[in-house]
Structure 1
């Protein structure tokens, strides 16, 4: 894997070390996450964040475990870091860090106080809501180490305050049970019980959200580290409270072994592929009987569009085809009126997506093509044919095949946005794209061709599918090329002066990256247009991937910053989306254009935001600072997929 390591200058510079985040996951949707500095900059940061019935319904438990070292002289040195509502950062343990590294997916800190050197490692037990925190004396000593446990028990999207109920602690062997929800265990536990008021999260302040919370100082663990090699470990877990996990050091080593096995199963050709294979592992979870995909950490759960877009990279490029088979079968069983549900992250199951189901057709086709698993193709054929039939007949939100040209149109109530450009501000879609979006129809045509092939592999007649495909392909080639020299983003869109459904229509030729799918998919409707791709590259491409809108277009927003409304207004109006590097590279390769240097920026990005991973988004203007989730499934999956194709 690539070497992710920071020395004392980067660690002690709070701007640098607090903007680089690490993540370890439990395979169920829970995680531990924080920054190189040790400063909690998000409400989502914590050492034990527990997944609920769905991956998105997480709760923060153990917020931090702050080390303090008592030297032989009697001087106590605090190694933790907190920012307070006043803006003060105290303590400032990051100033004593001489190194941070991420090795085999395990984060490790190394503090130096004179001749005393102490290391910390953090790992999670795979398949359990359990975190292990190990401290080790590397040199110097003897010293005493105290670990102060700051706790809460709240929804990961909110805060808890001292004006509410005091957290309930019950004694347990070696520690305590907090709120009947999670348990702490370690050496020489001393209960305390005190509010830490006004802990500030600077990233939430920057996102226009409430930045402060109160934490409950539950108590501290203590122990003597008499000589190098001595250890002091703490466990925190939320499942099977009465059953203590294996020792913390054993869990750390088990995590390392498992991570190496995950990488080996992917058969990486180089360190970049190895790093991305391990990054992909964080998103594949098993919250129940079947696998699922977390769209992004720390705030997303499962989104079918992200899952299916990511499918090839997360499963087929990592040696996880068997798990992928389970996932596809499970998703097929949830189809309703020919549609996959979009997500349940909002608290209810929603089917407000036009493209997720089309990505599902693509995922099944890629699975069978790359693995030869025709049995799965045969098994899912009835469900896949039902998808096409529902779209031809018409399903939710006006999603239907236009009988005049065979293209797929969509557009329901004016408050819904059905494509991946789905941001809304005060209930109004920013980019509604009602009509016939270019990537939706590229996916539709691709899906028809893939399904026809699966049907013929099963020995069945695919004439009707071939005819539908030919008709839609012909219409696509006629309707989507724009006089500007690229493809329309949407055709047959309602004219701006008319309400939804009004008779006049117009064709939207704003320069966006959605058209890349018309040239990049396996059964793309068009052969790549070299001249158009060169213009798109000039206008949209950045080191972290394509912008969502050209800078000279009306409505372009160059910075994805500010409060929720401001951020959502720019989400798809110029913000960079790294996942789009996949279709961009595919289209360029098919056009015979050079692609060797298109991934350099994203590979470099693996060590500068979500460590070892790829961010959700970035600013459209230089220096293209990363925004959104630091760890995003389809960003990782698409980079891994196209990087492997370089072989």
Structure 2
């Protein structure tokens, strides 16, 4: 038996004042989550570079959603000599960012996934740790002093701006804050001005106090204006904002002493239930249990870090309280998967693709069952939701593939759990999905009675995973019969046929079998592109058949029931490997295509123009490895080679996790979300599948 071991990940870098060192600290980010959708995140430098950065981004009931409450804490330490050393700061437009504390930082590491900074300050070492207690909107900042002679003074100044985490940073703080202080305990609440729902005045109070001290509170509140958010500027958004501070907390530290500041949106009873040491020990133990529950191949090495990263996406959402009540009434718990940090919510497609890697490889099959059963409660007109918008109670249904991925996810769950009771609960809904797709449902999703292939498309909607749309501009129009949609449709038919046959007999399965046979024969007649020796990406589209070389065709080989005849497997795989495979995933379009874009950067329009037009997606390495092993079942070692390029990425971008996308050409710069559910899930799943430890 493989015993789980504590997993530490250190970011290598040169602690000098040169530009390369600054770039490392500004481009690397850390992320903590609390299991409800809330999080804390920032750059390693301590400079806030995104609107989404904050030490406490609380997940609050609808209509609030996720709210930035504590943006930053500036840190200063005064040595016995009188020297004052800053350990964090802010960037202002037009002023060079010196990061004069860069050469003080001697180490950044993840300790069982938890961020730890070590600073050399004179003869002292100051160690900082950040923790979010599980299922709480609370953050603990803990500092410990090592070495040196005499007492040092630590000053911590919190900065706040109550706003939605996706809200504009330049939004004026129109509402005054009410500060209530009792000793060193402080509550901050926007003064309620009217009954506007969802505004800052609806937020709970932010409560702060020095949990370990002695610490004193000095009230000298005021605003800081014209703060520059460099990543927002780079992404084409408003990039200058303001924050407000109530004052600062002052600590005196001797050698080996600890200071801790707690900030929370919870009630005092909840906040005081755990002191910082108890909270740290509880979280380390929870993470140890996560590793122990995972399959043996995932308990050590990079896979162990991915198990911890997987935990960040699995949440018990607090924003949809009515759904929580309904799930609990049925004897379930509401669980969902956040598609990516910082800006994504829970998406149906991403959830179903990620389910195996995030929940089954990690030994969390019970939660997988919760996700599948509660997802089924949202089915309307034969569709599961595409996404739940931030702070909203109702889902949006504009997707042609999320429902089909649901069959795939359920199949994987049944393989791991053998839970036939869940299958029988869901079977009527699965049959209803089949009927809606055959007869036709929303957004033009309907089986063509002539050839049995599934068509989709509606004006103004993008229904496949290649869904970029800017205003009225549809970047990748794919109305018609898309290759991966029909691979998923055939796979769903074969799975449903088997389940119905096993549970209800041959007669009821016959209609499904006939649909599957028809789709299979039509697919192989229609989708083979002989001239290019690969598959059409789309047939019967608005402009006819589309021969663009894209990775979508891999699903015709990789799924449990491949729709593509075996004689075509090798040429398809060869074409994809030659043109799309990179060290960090697969390009979304071949480089020789007229619309190919090599960089995913710039403002929203520029980024969306490249999103599925060459940009590399890490999650696609999963279908590629599956297809490769289907063609080369004895070559698991070779398949591992396709994953190796993503291992060093654990020390880049979002440290300890996997990015959403990468540029299509070297150096394959990571872009998009710093932590993407299906990127983590598919890399972890494939590491286990290739049995590499």
TM-score interval, normalised by the smaller of the two chains = over 0.9
Deviation at 1:344, TM superposition (A): 2.2
For the residues of structure 1 that align with 2:123 and 2:594, how far apart are their CA atoms?
Answer: 60
Deviation at 1:91, TM superposition (A): 5.7
Deviation at 1:430, TM superposition (A): 0.7
Q: Does residue 152 of the first structure (1) align with residue 166 of the second (2)?
A: no
Q: Does residue 616 of the first structure (1) align with residue 660 of the second (2)?
A: yes
Q: Secondary structure at the residue paired with 2:651?
A: coil
For the residues of structure 2 that align with 1:145 and 1:263, how far apart are their CA atoms?
Answer: 36
Deviation at 1:90, TM superposition (A): 5.8
Q: State the match for 1:184 in structure 2.
A: 208
Deviation at 1:52, TM superposition (A): 2.6
Match for residue 382 of structure 1 among 420, 425, 428: 428
Q: 576-585 or 170-179, which moves further after superposition? A: 170-179
Deviation at 1:68, TM superposition (A): 0.8
Q: Is the 8 A contact 1:355 1:418 kept in 2?
A: yes
Mapping 1:44-443, distance limit 5 Å? 44-53=52-61, 57-89=65-97, 92-140=100-148, 141-158=150-167, 159-161=169-171, 164-172=174-182, 174-179=184-189, 180-186=204-210, 187-227=215-255, 229-241=256-268, 243-245=270-272, 246-269=274-297, 270-288=300-318, 289=324, 290-345=334-389, 349-413=395-459, 415-443=460-488
For the residues of structure 2 that align with 1:118 and 1:249, how far apart are their CA atoms?
Answer: 17
Deviation at 1:315, TM superposition (A): 1.0
Count of residues paired in the alignment: 635
Q: State the match for 1:494 in structure 2.
A: 542
Q: 330-339 or 78-87, which moves further after superposition? A: 78-87
Q: State the match for 2:14 in structure 1.
A: 9
Deviation at 1:646, TM superposition (A): 1.2
Q: State the match for 1:501 in structure 2.
A: none
**CA 1:172 to 1:298, structure 2 compared with 1: closer, same or farther past 3 Å?**
farther
Q: State the match for 1:564 in structure 2.
A: 604
Structure 2 residue runs of 5 or longer lacking an equivalent are 1-5, 190-203, 319-323, 325-333
Q: Does residue 474 of the first structure (1) align with residue 521 of the second (2)?
A: yes
For the residues of structure 2 that align with 1:29 and 1:281, how far apart are their CA atoms?
Answer: 11
Mapping 1:407-556, distance limit 5 Å? 407-413=453-459, 415-461=460-506, 462-483=509-530, 484-495=532-543, 506-526=544-564, 527=566, 529-556=569-596
**CA 1:399 to 1:487, structure 2 compared with 1: closer, same or farther past 3 Å?**
same
Q: Is the 8 A contact 1:47 1:63 kept in 2?
A: yes
**CA 1:194 to 1:268, structure 2 compared with 1: closer, same or farther past 3 Å?**
farther
Deviation readout 1:278-328 (Å, 9 max, x if unpaired): 110000000143011110011111111111111111111111100110111
Q: Is the 8 A contact 1:149 1:219 kept in 2?
A: yes
Q: Is the 8 A contact 1:152 1:160 kept in 2?
A: no
Q: 541-550 or 61-70, which moves further after superposition? A: 61-70
Deviation readout 1:552-602 (Å, 9 max, x if unpaired): 001001100000111111110000000000001100111116313100111
**CA 1:539 to 1:380, structure 2 compared with 1: closer, same or farther past 3 Å?**
same
For the residues of structure 2 that align with 1:580 and 1:469, how far apart are their CA atoms?
Answer: 25
**CA 1:222 to 1:357, structure 2 compared with 1: closer, same or farther past 3 Å?**
same
Q: 84-93 or 450-459, which moves further after superposition? A: 84-93
Cα RMSD of the aligned pairs, angstroms, is: 1.7
Q: Is the 8 A contact 2:11 2:651 kept in 1?
A: no
For the residues of structure 2 that align with 1:8 and 1:514, how far apart are their CA atoms?
Answer: 38
For the residues of structure 1 that align with 2:79 and 2:640, how far apart are their CA atoms?
Answer: 53
Q: Is the 8 A contact 1:29 1:55 kept in 2?
A: no
For the residues of structure 2 that align with 1:55 and 1:4, how far apart are their CA atoms?
Answer: 37
Q: Is the 8 A contact 1:154 1:160 kept in 2?
A: no
For the residues of structure 2 that align with 1:599 and 1:171, how far apart are their CA atoms?
Answer: 53
Deviation at 1:170, TM superposition (A): 2.2
Deviation at 1:55, TM superposition (A): 11
Q: State the match for 1:498 in structure 2.
A: none
Deviation readout 1:439-485 (Å, 9 max, x if unpaired): 00000000111111222232433111111111111111111110211
For the residues of structure 2 that align with 1:264 and 1:54, how far apart are their CA atoms?
Answer: 35
What is the TM-score with the length of structure 2 in the denominator? 0.89
For the residues of structure 1 that align with 2:598 and 2:669, how far apart are their CA atoms?
Answer: 11
Match for residue 49 of structure 2 among 21, 24, 41: 41
For the residues of structure 2 that align with 1:390 and 1:639, how far apart are their CA atoms?
Answer: 34
Deviation readout 1:485-507 (Å, 9 max, x if unpaired): 10000011112xxxxxxxxxx11
**CA 1:572 to 1:125, structure 2 compared with 1: closer, same or farther past 3 Å?**
same
Deviation at 1:243, TM superposition (A): 4.1
For the residues of structure 2 that align with 1:119 and 1:640, how far apart are their CA atoms?
Answer: 31
**CA 1:46 to 1:635, structure 2 compared with 1: closer, same or farther past 3 Å?**
same
Structure 1 residue runs of 5 or longer lacking an equivalent are 496-505
For the residues of structure 1 that align with 2:404 and 2:206, how far apart are their CA atoms?
Answer: 41
